[in-house]
Amino acid sequence: DTEVTQTPKHLVMGMTNKKSLKCEQHMGHRAMYWYKQKAKKPPELMFVYSYEKLSINESVPSRFSPECPNSSLLNLHLHALQPEDSALYLCASSQDGADTQYFGPGTRLTVL
């Protein structure tokens, strides 16, 4: 099974809302990633968790807060977002670093 799942598929939120994106994989992968993708652009790395520890934070604003409750789950908590944060948010996992990455279907986020 090479599946990464993400919920919700779509999310519309106001600038004062708090919401969370969820990602799950059951492939035993030790690295999990959050990416942000704007239209007609490649994905941009936001965060990397390796062995449940935050390894990389690509200078992401604090209104995005990642969490890795266990080796299979990855959350992205959203608070006080701006309209320019509207994008496709993708979760990915890999067995370890520098390995094949598998992506979830993404959450399409709209901030009003």
Partner 1 sequence: GIQVEQSPPDLILQEGANSTLRCNFSDSVNNLQWFHQNPWGQLINLFYIPSGTKQNGRLSATTVATERYSLLYISSSQTTDSGVYFCAGWVVDSNYQLIWGAGTKLIIKP
37 vs 79 by CB, closer to partner 1: 37
Burial degree of 50 (CB within 10 A; 0-12, 13-18, 19+): middle
Task: Enter the tokens of residue 101.
Answer: 């990455």
- Can you tell me which of 17, 22, 72, 103 binds partner 1, judged by CB under 8 A? 103
Please, what is the minimum distance in Å from the beta carbon of residue 16 to partner 1? 27
- Can you tell me which of 8, 14, 61, 97 binds partner 1, judged by CB under 8 A? 97
Q: If binding is defined by CB under 8 A, does position 100 make contact with partner 1?
A: yes
Q: If binding is defined by CB under 8 A, does position 96 make contact with partner 1?
A: yes
Which of positions 29-68 make contact with partner 1 (CB under 8 A)? 31, 33, 37, 41-43, 45, 48, 50, 55-56
Q: Are the beta carbons of 6 and 22 closer than 8 angstroms?
A: yes
Please, what is the minimum distance in Å from the beta carbon of residue 80 to partner 1? 25
List the Cα angle 61/43/108 in 5-degree steps: 75
Task: Choose among 59, 53, 46: nearest CA to 71.
Answer: 53
Round to whole Å and give the CA distance between 76 and 19: 9
Q: Are the beta carbons of 9 and 88 closer than 8 angstroms?
A: no
Q: List residues binding partner 1 (CB under 8 A).
A: 31, 33, 37, 41-43, 45, 48, 50, 55-56, 88, 90, 92, 96-103, 105-106, 108
